[in-house]
Amino acid sequence: MQDSDAILQERVNQEYKYGWVTDIEQDIFPPGLNEDVIRALSAKKKEPEWLTEWRLKAYRHWLNMKQPDWAKLQVSPIDYQAISYYAAPKSKEDGPKSLDDIDPEIRATYDKLGIPLVEQMALAGIAVDAVFDSVSVATTFRAKLEELGIIFCSFSEAVREHPDLVKKYLGSVVPYTDNFFATLNSAVFSDGSFCYVPKGVRCPMELSTYFRINAGNTGQFERTLLVADENSYVSYLEGCTAPMRDENQLHAAVVELVALDGAQIKYSTVQNWYPGDAQGKGGIYNFVTKRGKAMKGAKLSWTQVETGSAITWKYPSCILQGDNSVGEFYSVALSSLKQQADTGTKMVHIGKNTRSTIVSKGISAMLGQNTYRGQVLIGKNADNARNYSQCDSMLMGSECGAHTFPYIDVKNPSGQVEHEASTSKINEDQIFYCRQRGISTEDAVSMIVNGFCKEVLQELPMEFAVEAQKLLGISLEGSVG
Amino acid sequence: MPNETDYVSRFEAASKNADEPSWLAELRRKAIDDFQRQGFPTTKNEWWRDTSVKAIVESDFRDADGSPDVPKPLVNAATLEGAIGGHRVAFVNGKFSDELSHIGALPEGVFVGRLSDFAKAHPDKFEQLLAKTAKTDDAPFAALNTAFWRDGACVFVPKGQSIDETVHIVYLTQTNGHATIDHPRNLIVLEDDAKADVIEHYVGMDKCLAYFNNVVTEVVMGERAFLDHLKLQQESPCAFHVATMEIRQRGKSNFATNSISLGGRLVRNDFSTALDGEFIESTMDGLFLVDGEQHVDHHTKIDHLMPNCHSFETFKGILGGKSRGVFNGRIYVEKDAQKTDAKQTSRNLLLSKDATANARPQLEIYADDVKCTHGATIGQLDSNALFYLRSRGIGEAEAYKILVYAFAGDMIHRIKNLGARETLEAKLIELLPKATYLEEAS
């Protein structure tokens, strides 16, 4: 015993002696992952000791985990030692100087989406601080939020300014032991958003990272924590319809939602990262863990439009812990080119009279593979729980695939679970009807697909919905004809 | 505690004194190797995640042997004597029973009887057909059966022929004081334009001793062949029953099976069919009625390999006591299988607070011009229907029973053999699990 204690002591001292002290001056870490890197990362961000420890605990746990392979995805091996786990936020001067430096294809897409010029510049990473209106808009918004007691800031800021809240809720929904990617994220998360809505407050606007100062470059391991205190309401938008410029191939984000008694959280996502080229080269690997916990009478609602990324592995889930809580999941997942999406949800009914709805629309085109994978679990004590699931898939072209893997587990006789799924081809009669009336095939397809997804799109906040509709059309260009 | 190695050493011991052709010995050798490589499945295996076979692994089984001393009337009642009629191939504790079997006149070239007799009469065909449909590489129980099977039933119908009367295959088990194991092996072959109607029937006579039936049934159907199949599982309440049924269908053939599962403590039925031709129709239905600590698991797999085929699946479960019912159905549509029409339904009725139902209806589709749907429900009877009956002066418990009967009766009515259907209708009323949930609620 004494021996091992001595060794342990020595090790601890060693790590303290070297490690991050020298690293702290650098702007980017060399590739590689070990405890020193995590300590250095944590030190860079001036994090308190408990958080450093938490990261290390996650890392040690991660070492014993294997990358999951149960999803219907073909993932080329990822070398976790080849990734640099810290890069200082890039200064805007490094970005392109003007819109002329931007890939014309991306610009064309901006135009099609109808994004205003200044916003285009911001999205493309051009230094526009001086002219860009939304900065001042953001400041005004922020003042308004502060007035209501709503905290909305970057995760690092929250760690510094509101350590108690972060400490209380971090890992309370997605524990650091949860799964391979969530654990990795827990160890190395770069930054993200934090939001706290106090008791009884109804957040007057849709919150979006867009309105957050310092939102830029949150890195590839994003961490979001949203806490809605009793009887409060918040609607949160994540992502953006415009294609995102990003050099990192692997993304492993974690989103935790906590809805206390009577609270409501609406979380909307539009994900349109680079899907790779037609040969499937490049493209983002998107492995995301999203989960919310609903206490008594609380409501969680996930809406997602997933059109980007080469690989999407994402299951926004609801733990319906409190009695009378409600969970919703609305999803459109589109895979074209050589994209692969394995996405769905988990509805875990624990409380009595809990209700959940799942509406999932999958669209596969060209060589895309689209999988819905979801679980509905009605626990033993979840009396009168109710679930309705509908998963529809649409296929375009004979080279794509659409798959449905629902898991339904009911342990309570008063529970009622219904699951329906259908898979069919895009209706040629409908295309013909449109063509006959002078509508081009592409517009017709876009129209039909939007109709197919209507139930989901109407759940999105308005401006978002309009952009998402256009996005679906653009993503499907050239897939029929 | 016995484990995989025990089965292997038992195999070594048995293979020494076996007198079999070399191809068969090789086949068995490969099977036991496959089994040893895979081992018994654990719940970590996705295909077995809802069914633990730990109880089977931990049981010390002896080979089933000898004829039990069962009074004939009891045997007759259990085997639905008289009700089903037709030809009967009966086995008692894994051994063919002359006494209980009777095979009537058959058309030219048709074979109905023991698999071991078929092997002697048609050695070439036997070699061509055995273990060609049910593979052992990724199926530990089928591998175990292939390594150990001793006998079973065989139905062979050559081109254009048909068997008009039902072929009733019965496996009766009565243990003599010790848990036993048997590996029944069935082979049903219908060549082009052939037609048959087969009932596979498992009956347990013991009330409380565990035994294990590890069944493999292979079905090979030629073009335009027609097979109506009923599987009736009435094992004893302590029995383990694992059955693998593999079907291969050629163009324009029509296959229908109905699996009625009433007995057993741990029951696993794997049905898998490959639609290897155009314009095939394939139907898989099932009903299970479980109570107490029973566990029934149905895994189905329908592979649409060619265009223009139709498949239909309906599985229903009624669960009482602390029972658990699992349905896992996969419809796979190959890239070339355009114009596929596949429909799958799983419906479960929970009658008790301690019962669990798991449904996994799955679609895996690689062709675009298809129509595939699946639906799954787990829950309660329609409260409006219940109210309707109550408003007409029918007591709650009684009304409930009527509705549960109607729910299950739908599947019983699909049975084509009149005798079997009537007997089962009567049996159903007797077996309906008590809706303890109602009593708890009131």
pLDDT tens per residue, range A458-475: 888 776 787 788 778 777
Please count the other Cβ atoms lying within 10 Å of the Cβ belonging to residue B339: 16
- The answer to whether residue B69 scores a pLDDT higher than 90 is no
- The answer to whether residue A14 scores a pLDDT higher than 60 is no
Choose from B366, B380, B438 for mutation: most chain A CBs within 10 A: B366
Specify if B390 maps to a domain: no
pLDDT at A248: 57
Element containing residue B220 per DSSP (H, E):
strand B211-221
Specify if B416 maps to a domain: no
Contact list, B380 vs chain A (CB under 8 Å): 413-414, 416
Specify if A37 maps to a domain: no
pLDDT at A34: 86
Residue A220 carries which DSSP code? Answer: S
pLDDT at A102: 56
Element containing residue A451 per DSSP (H, E):
helix A441-452
In chain B, whose CA is at the least distance from the CA of A402?
B365
pLDDT at B241: 95
- Number of independent structural domains in chain B: 1
Average of per-residue pLDDT across B103-131: 92
pLDDT tens per residue, range A301-347: 999 988 878 888 999 999 999 999 999 999 989 888 888 899 999 99
- The answer to whether residue B24 scores a pLDDT higher than 70 is yes
Do residue B365 and residue A405 have CB atoms under 8 angstroms apart? Answer: no
Average of per-residue pLDDT across A385-396: 90
Contact list, A70 vs chain B (CB under 8 Å): 46
Choose from A387, A408, A414, A480 for mutation: most chain B CBs within 10 A: A408
Work out the minimum CA distance from A396 to partner chain B, whole angstroms: 6
Average of per-residue pLDDT across B67-74: 65
Task: Determine contact: A87 vs chain B, CB below 8 A.
Answer: no
Which residues are CB-neighbours of B299 under 8 A, at least 6 positions away?
A: B47, B268, B269, B270, B271, B272, B326, B328, B329
Nearest 10 degrees: Cα torsion A171, A174, A179, A182 = -70
pLDDT at A129: 36
Q: CA B241 to CA B122: how far, in whole Å?
A: 30
Which residue's structure tokens are 């996005």? Answer: A471
Q: Which of A410, A421, A425 sits opposite B368 (nearest CB)?
A: A425
pLDDT at B276: 93
pLDDT tens per residue, range B229-253: 999 999 988 899 999 999 999 999 9
pLDDT at A24: 34
Q: How much of chain B exceeds pLDDT 70, in percent?
A: 93
Task: Determine contact: A67 vs chain B, CB below 8 A.
Answer: no
DSSP B170-192: EEEE--SSS-EEE--EEEEEE-T
Choose from B338, B363, B442 for mutation: most chain A CBs within 10 A: B363
Contact list, B374 vs chain A (CB under 8 Å): 404, 419-421
Tell whether the torsion through CA atoms of A119, A121, A127 and A131 is positive or negative.
negative
- Number of independent structural domains in chain A: 1
Do residue A406 and residue B369 have CB atoms under 8 angstroms apart? Answer: no
Work out the minimum CA distance from B319 to partner chain A, whole angstroms: 9
Q: How far is CA A228 from CA A187, B152, B171, in A?
A: 25, 65, 62
The residue among A72 and A5 whose pLDDT is bigger is: A72
Q: Which domain holds residue A171?
A: 92-475
- The answer to whether residue A57 scores a pLDDT higher than 50 is yes
- The answer to whether residue B222 scores a pLDDT higher than 90 is yes
Specify if B393 maps to a domain: no
pLDDT at A108: 62
Specify if A25 maps to a domain: no
Q: Which domain holds residue B111?
A: 60-382
Work out the minimum CA distance from B231 to partner chain A, whole angstroms: 26
Q: CA A62 to CA A41: how far, in whole Å?
A: 17
pLDDT at A25: 38
Across A248-252, A419-423, B372-376, least confident range: A248-252
Specify if A333 maps to a domain: yes
Specify if B2 maps to a domain: no
Contact list, B366 vs chain A (CB under 8 Å): 400-401
